[in-house]
Amino acid sequence: MHFFKDTHFDLISQRKTGYMISGILLIISVASLVLHGGPKLNIDFTGGSLLHLKFEKPVEIQNFRDLLAARNLKGEIKHFGSQNEISIRVGTEYIKEDMASELSADISEAMPENPFKIQRNEKVGPKIGHELLWQALKAILVSMVLILIYVMVRFEFKFSIGAIAALAHDVIITLGIFSVFEIEISSPIIAAVLTIVGYSLNDTIVVFDRIRENLRAASKNIKDISEIANKSLNETLSRTIITSVTTLIVVIVLYFFGGEVLKTFALALIIGVIIGTYSSIFVASPIVVDWKTKKA
């Protein structure tokens, strides 16, 4: 199936516009991350206690703030998916073995007319949280290094820099969007980020492979790398769009119907697929073209 057949879009000539758009997104992302002191980390990485309650009737958040204040507890309280579900998160300094039962007893006493069930009751110590964070960062860094080596061996150094630049671009912007909207980074989000790295690399490798083939097939009179890269991007454009659209359909369905727990995971994938598709066209290949042009 070909949605775009025999296209001749001059994509490489738009690379400065692409660089400008990427630069603006990167500046916003980095600025947000700096101003917020880094990504907003979930209990998985910071440690603490999380209590998720489901009531028969809608509830007001202020009632739970009063209950926490009565016990000298400070935490984050928010609706979880619907008005009758509440998540209560407190820091590691308030972790107690019986905190959930104590809070449940207080809530039952304060709201006897509104029964509830405990959906989740999680406790993560600060040491475990820090270990999980380090393991997540190590996974991302190791994957980047292995990708650099793989692309360098399969293609050449200039291509590997273009691929790594595109991947770093995708990860930073995805984390930046989460930072701007103050969405917590949890273990599923890290899994989504690693998935984005693989997805974006796959798109980039397809384009790079076509560029290499066209470089080999080009006559000696054709030395313009921009022309060859442009031809390669147009030849792979249909495949890129079809793959991205079909993937987006799945993750959008997951976002709306996969439940609250999977919502942020699906959102990260939606952002990553869009940014990854963009970067494979307007970041990775243009960097290789510019570098080869300057080195020629």
* Per-residue pLDDT tens digits for 35-59: 998 888 877 777 777 888 889 888 8
Q: Is the pLDDT of residue 130 over 80?
A: no
**Considering the domain boundaries, does residue 7 fall inside one?**
no
Residues 120 and 147 in one domain: no
Q: What pLDDT, on the 0 to 100 scale, is given for residue 255? A: 92
CA distance 32 to 178: 9
Q: What pLDDT, on the 0 to 100 scale, is given for residue 91? A: 67
Q: What pLDDT, on the 0 to 100 scale, is given for residue 183? A: 87
Residues 38 and 163 in one domain: yes
Q: What pLDDT, on the 0 to 100 scale, is given for residue 46? A: 76
CA distance 189 to 196: 10
Q: Residue range 63-67: average pLDDT? A: 83
Q: Is the pLDDT of residue 75 over 60?
A: yes
How many domains, the chain? 2
From 69, 98, 124, give the residue that closes a domain: 124
Lowest mean pLDDT among 128-132, 200-204, 262-266, 273-277: 128-132
CA distance 54 to 51: 10
Contact between residue 280 and residue 205 where contact means Cβ atoms under 8 Å apart: no
Coil, helix or strand at residue 105: helix
Residues 151 and 52 in one domain: no
The dihedral through the CA atoms of 181, 186, 187, 188 has a sign that is negative
CA distance 187 to 190: 5
Give the residue, 128 or 24, on which the prediction is more confident: 24
Contact between residue 47 and residue 124 where contact means Cβ atoms under 8 Å apart: yes
Look up the pTM and report it: 0.80
**Average pLDDT of the chain to the nearest whole number:** 84
From 104, 124, 144, give the residue that closes a domain: 124
Tokens encoding 161: 């820099």
- Going by pLDDT thresholds of 50, 70 and 90, the confidence category of residue 198 is confident
Q: Is the pLDDT of residue 262 over 80?
A: yes
Coil, helix or strand at residue 81: coil
Say how many CA atoms lie within 13 Å of 127 toward its Cβ.
Answer: 0
Q: What is the side-by-side strand order in the sheet with 48-55?
A: 75-80, 82-90, 48-55, 116-124
- Going by pLDDT thresholds of 50, 70 and 90, the confidence category of residue 94 is low
Residues 52 and 100 in one domain: yes
